[in-house]
Amino acid sequence: MLLKISNKAQMSAPFELLVAIIVMIFVVAAGSYALANLNENTCLGNKRQEMSNLVSSLREVVLGSDLAYRTIDFSTKACYNENNEQTYLRVVDNDRDVCERFCGSGTSCILLQYQYVDEVKLDYKYPIDPVCTYLPTNLVFGSDTDCGIDPDVTNEETIDPTEDNSNIKRGTYKIYKLSNSGPLYKVCMIKIR
């Protein structure tokens, strides 16, 4: 009689092992998914904070005194593929729906926007809502000449984050207002290479 029980136990052992392996694979897959999701959300949270800091610095310079000067470290790591990510200022003209949605009012506004290209679907994704800068729309970013920068001599270059295909990349930036702005708010945004 004992011999029959042990044979039965030996026959069910491979099935129990198979069930255990399937359950273990499911647990590992679910854990990996949860960890990847947590990492993505943490990265996007850090990016939101960096975007908020950038907007604050821009506002302090543009709306502050002519001597306002800020250095900002925009160093959040890429949340997806760095080559497919883009952070830029989007000037919205005559679009009440967009400006009301993100800024609360107005027909013209400037938004700080983050996007990336989904490599699988080949379309743009916007995982972070645009941030309203509450900056005047007559904001102009100075060129190398305006800002007194010679990229061949210094380790600095000016950027205009409102230009098409512009990108505020990781790095350190100096932001200051030009004293001879006139009717426009003319600002220098310089990336230190």
- pLDDT tens for residues 88-142? 999 999 999 999 999 999 899 999 999 998 888 888 889 999 999 999 999 999 9
**Is residue 1 very low, low, confident or very high in pLDDT (cuts 50, 70, 90)?**
very low
Task: In whole angstroms, give the CA distance from residue 100 to residue 21.
Answer: 54
Spatial distance between the Cα atoms of 110 and 193, rounded to a whole number of angstroms: 26
Distances in Å between the Cα of 87 and the Cα atoms of 6, 119, 147, 187 are 67, 17, 22, 18
Determine contact, residues 69/79, Cβ cutoff 8 Å: no
Give the C-alpha distances (Å, rounded to integers) separating 20 from 7, 15, 32, 131. 20, 9, 18, 48
Mean pLDDT within 23-40: 86
Query: Is 89 exposed, middle or buried, given 0-12, 13-18 or 19+ CB atoms closer than 10 A?
Result: buried
Q: Measured between alpha carbons, how far is 56 from 93 in angstroms, rounded to an integer?
A: 22
Sign for the pseudo-dihedral over CA of 101, 48, 82, 151: positive
Q: Which residues contact 163 (CB under 8 A, 6 or more apart)?
A: none
Sign of the alpha-carbon torsion through 28, 30, 33, 34: negative
Average pLDDT over every residue of 164-191: 87
Return the minimum-mean-pLDDT range out of 7-11, 69-73, 122-126, 153-157: 7-11
- Mean pLDDT score across all residues of the chain: 87
* CB 112 within 8 Å of CB 162: no
Enter the tokens of residue 80: 């997806």
